[in-house]
Chain A
């Protein structure tokens, strides 16, 4: 693969020198294509081909076991509208996304400010807030499933001991508590991550701005409102994008913790896709829903990135 000769002989005429450079560029081009070939093949086989396939599936009768049974466009798409679980799943996913986003960004900001305030515990605190983020979401969900259980869960005995409650709480028993319990798990698992993003943003704010504000007699709230928040806009926007996209695609936590229950009250859109494909064995309708999700996400991301760029410019 040795291509670079040591140097072009100095005695060569200008014309042959130019040709030498051209052939050098050509061979470097070929080498570049050689090095990028694994990426291109990989992306082609495992990304582009599946994308075309999912589009084709969404327009076909395609039972899981029997395979392709021919085009039926637009039946799979019109079936979405009549799927009894679709709109409840959409509303639940939006509800969950709003709740989680507000709580996670708020919590992340709170923790970041706590670390920023300094003190002897700083290192210890940062590590303890970040530790849950090192865990997988599936294992965290299983952990909390035990934690919430009425069999070995420590929460109810603790609450009763402290005389906060008299009757045991069923953490996953009704739709509202199932939503709140799952949200608590997600805040626990991800708050450290958002704290980290916001901490980097906080540390980029020049110290003298705060000093100037203090000289001007600004109180804490004013400093926070008029210095911290505006200058943190970029980190906040990034956190928002990651949090919204992640929550809209929620799956593991509900699959493991609530199994979509009670009474199908906690089914997210991705769970609905999974159900269509692997429980109702209908890849066609599952593909149609995932195409819709993809389209919504692309639009949403375009809007969010435009907003992020706007935030960067001002």
Chain B
């Protein structure tokens, strides 16, 4: 019995070495960022030792971390709300109704995926000026919702299609209108789809960099991704790496928490979602 166990352990050794090594490589940068964010650096707000000096520097950086955090939350939440509102109604229409140009509208919505961000952002920069939303957080939310629409509409359509027709018809017989059916009967049934769409819209908006880079030119309206990056752009004097890593932690933390809270949903969403960038 004994030699057999030993042989088994030996054949498993490459597995443990490989997987252990890989896990270290993948976790190390994350752990290091957390470590660097609480450690001092000569010539910065926190000269030495371990503490929250870097976070304190970040708190008072330019317009203040609070402002940037608010901007990010505002843009992400409005993206989620707009995306959900438009794709819920649209998905309902595509799944349960027949109307002229149905397939054409659906295909054009999906075609948004085929067009690079940069190609869209150049004219959008001009267009937002025309409709008075240039350099505004709402304009940013609207553009980010547009980028989310193909995935969201597709997701909501297949969610509504999966709801059995009988459920709907029973409610209609009871005298409910189509909106009543949507609100009372269908919404609870498509909840997983709604969560996936909301999660993806939130993460995409929270992490988007090129859209605010092009559409926002007022530092007080910058979301976190843009504001933290300006820490890197400093060409004069010492670059405050500690605060930079503190900013990375602030940006990454909500994403990682969402990841742990909704891991199953996250994994499923990843599989069905088309990712760009």
Whether B52 sits at the interface, judged by CB under 8 Å, is no
Whether B18 sits at the interface, judged by CB under 8 Å, is yes
Question: Do A4 and B122 form a contact, CB below 8 Å, given A47-B112, A143-B248?
Answer: no
**Secondary structure type dominating chain B contacts:** helix
Query: CB-defined interface of A33-72 with B at 8 Å, one 1/0 digit per residue?
Result: 1111011101101111111011001000000000100000
Q: Across the interface, do A137 and B19 meet the contact criterion of CB distance under 8 Å? A: no
Expressed in whole angstroms, the Cα–Cα distance for A188 and B28 within the complex equals: 11
Question: Do A287 and B41 form a contact, CB below 8 Å, given A6-B175, A114-B19, A138-B225?
Answer: no
Whether A162 sits at the interface, judged by CB under 8 Å, is no
Stretch from A81-89, A172-180, A225-233, A289-297 contacting the other chain: A289-297
Q: Which residue of B lies closest to A133 (CB)?
A: B270
B210 to chain A, nearest CB (A): 6
Q: Across the interface, do B209 and A135 meet the contact criterion of CB distance under 8 Å? A: no
Expressed in whole angstroms, the Cα–Cα distance for A273 and B120 within the complex equals: 11
Q: Across the interface, do A43 and B207 meet the contact criterion of CB distance under 8 Å? A: no
Whether B214 sits at the interface, judged by CB under 8 Å, is yes
Question: Do A36 and B94 form a contact, CB below 8 Å, given A2-B180, A31-B178?
Answer: yes
| Chain B interface extent, by class | 35 or more
Q: Across the interface, do B274 and A35 meet the contact criterion of CB distance under 8 Å? A: no
Expressed in whole angstroms, the Cα–Cα distance for A25 and B275 within the complex equals: 38
Q: Across the interface, do A290 and B116 meet the contact criterion of CB distance under 8 Å? A: yes
**Secondary structure type dominating chain A contacts:** helix
Please, which residues of chain B bring their CB within 8 A of the CB of A286?
A: 122
Whether B51 sits at the interface, judged by CB under 8 Å, is no
Whether B57 sits at the interface, judged by CB under 8 Å, is no
Query: CB-defined interface of A3-47 with B at 8 Å, one 1/0 digit per residue?
Result: 110110000000000000000010011111111101110110111
Q: Across the interface, do B26 and A128 meet the contact criterion of CB distance under 8 Å? A: yes
Most buried by B among A48, A151, A298: A151
Q: Which residue of B lies closest to A271 (CB)?
A: B118
Q: Which residue of B lies closest to A48 (CB)?
A: B108
Expressed in whole angstroms, the Cα–Cα distance for A73 and B126 within the complex equals: 20
Whether A256 sits at the interface, judged by CB under 8 Å, is yes
Q: Across the interface, do B228 and A1 meet the contact criterion of CB distance under 8 Å? A: no
Give 5 CB contacts A-B under 8 Å. Answer: A43-B112, A46-B146, A57-B126, A125-B23, A134-B203
15 further A-B pairs in the complex, CB-CB below 8 A; given A43-B149, A139-B252: A31-B97, A35-B89, A35-B92, A46-B143, A49-B127, A135-B256, A136-B252, A146-B241, A149-B241, A188-B26, A252-B210, A255-B210, A256-B229, A290-B119, A301-B114
Q: Which 5 A-B pairs have the closest CB atoms?
A: A136-B207, A32-B97, A39-B90, A2-B177, A35-B93
**Chain A interface residues toward B at CB < 8 A:** 1-4, 6-7, 25, 28-36, 38-40, 42-43, 45-51, 53-54, 57, 67, 111, 114, 117, 119, 121, 124-125, 127-139, 142-147, 149, 151-152, 154, 188, 191-193, 196-197, 200, 242, 245-246, 249, 251-252, 255-256, 270, 273-274, 277-278, 283, 286-287, 290-291, 293-294, 297-298, 301
**Chain B interface residues toward A at CB < 8 A:** 12, 15-16, 18-19, 22-23, 25-27, 29-30, 32-33, 36, 39, 41, 85-87, 89-90, 92-94, 96-100, 102, 105, 108-109, 111-112, 114-120, 122-127, 131, 142-143, 145-146, 149, 153, 172-173, 175-180, 203, 206-210, 213-214, 225, 228-229, 232, 239, 241-242, 244-245, 247-248, 251-252, 255-256, 258-259, 263, 266-267, 270-271, 274-277
